[in-house]
Amino acid sequence: EDQVTQSPEALRLQEGESSSLNCSYTVSGLRGLFWYRQDPGKGPEFLFTLYSAGEEKEKERLKATLTKKESFLHITAPKPEDSATYLCAVQGGGGSNYKLTFGKGTLLTVNP
Amino acid sequence: GAVVSQHPSWVICKSGTSVKIECRSLDFQATTMFWYRQFPKQSLMLMATSNEGSKATYEQGVEKDKFLINHASLTLSTLTVTSAHPEDSSFYICSASQGLAAFGEQYFGPGTRLTVT
């Protein structure tokens, strides 16, 4: 069974204070690792897909990296509007090859 | 692009009644749509997967007779919660995939907050 563990559960940063969120996973044949942003009371917003170890993707202040066991979401010089819950999900190549397995998320709060 | 809408955004119903939630892909054809449920401070749990024109595939532990899913077209899927009870109160979110479900990215709707009194 695919599993995703995100840490920390919550992270509080000052504006401009860079940090990283962690996503550890176990999956049978990784097809893709996904990062989403979710604001309170809203559906997740797609950020990145990573397919293989060593891959990196960037979008504004966010950079996602992938190894064979974990992914990091690096946030550089965050702003208050980056406050949200960040979700990590994996899509495995086992029996349910379309299913996304989500972690519980990291609640990021950026204070001005 | 890749916009998914849901209607209604919130609904309150009495115990024992049924409620229907619509999920639409607005600017693309969704070969596959997914229904998730999310409890407070919990991760999204997949309930079922539907492909246009065929029966939905339900995850283990999800009652197919209680959560009826219809995917009548490439842009519309509906979830009907039948004989709703207070424990069905949750945040229901749909997503849609443009390409092959095995590889395509999923785009999520804004969610529907269901409260059963």
- Coil, strand or helix: which one is B99? coil
Interchain contact, B102 vs A31, CB within 8 Å: yes
pLDDT at B92 over 70: yes
Per-residue pLDDT tens over the stretch A72-109: 999 999 999 999 999 999 988 766 556 789 999 999 99
Question: What was the pLDDT predicted at B32?
Answer: 87
Question: What was the pLDDT predicted at A94?
Answer: 64
| DSSP letter (8 states) at residue A44 | -
* CB-count exposure of residue B80 (10 Å: 0-12, 13-18, 19+): middle
* CB-count exposure of residue B87 (10 Å: 0-12, 13-18, 19+): exposed
Question: What was the pLDDT predicted at A95?
Answer: 60
| DSSP letter (8 states) at residue A6 | E
Distance CA B29, CA B97 (A): 8
Q: Which of B15, B6, B7 is CA-nearest to residue B115? A: B15
Task: Say if CB B57 and CB B81 are below 8 A apart.
Answer: no
Interchain contact, B113 vs A41, CB within 8 Å: yes
In the structure, what pLDDT confidence band is assigned to residue B90 with cuts at 50, 70 and 90?
very high
In A7-24, which positions are buried (b, 16+ CB within 10 angstroms) versus exposed (e)?
A: eeeebebeeeeeeebebe
Per-residue pLDDT tens over the stretch A27-68: 888 889 999 999 998 999 999 999 999 999 999 999 999 999
Disruptive mutation site among A57, A86, A98, A107 for chain B (greatest number of B CBs within 10 Å): A98
**To the nearest whole percent, how much of chain B has pLDDT over 90?**
68
Question: What was the pLDDT predicted at B45?
Answer: 93
What phi and psi values does residue A84 have, to the nearest 5 degrees? 180, 175
Question: What was the pLDDT predicted at A31?
Answer: 87
Which position has the higher pLDDT, B105 or A32? Answer: A32
pLDDT at B30 over 90: no
Identity of the residue in A31, A32, A104 whose CB atom sits nearest the CB atom of B43: A104
In the structure, what pLDDT confidence band is assigned to residue B100 with cuts at 50, 70 and 90?
low
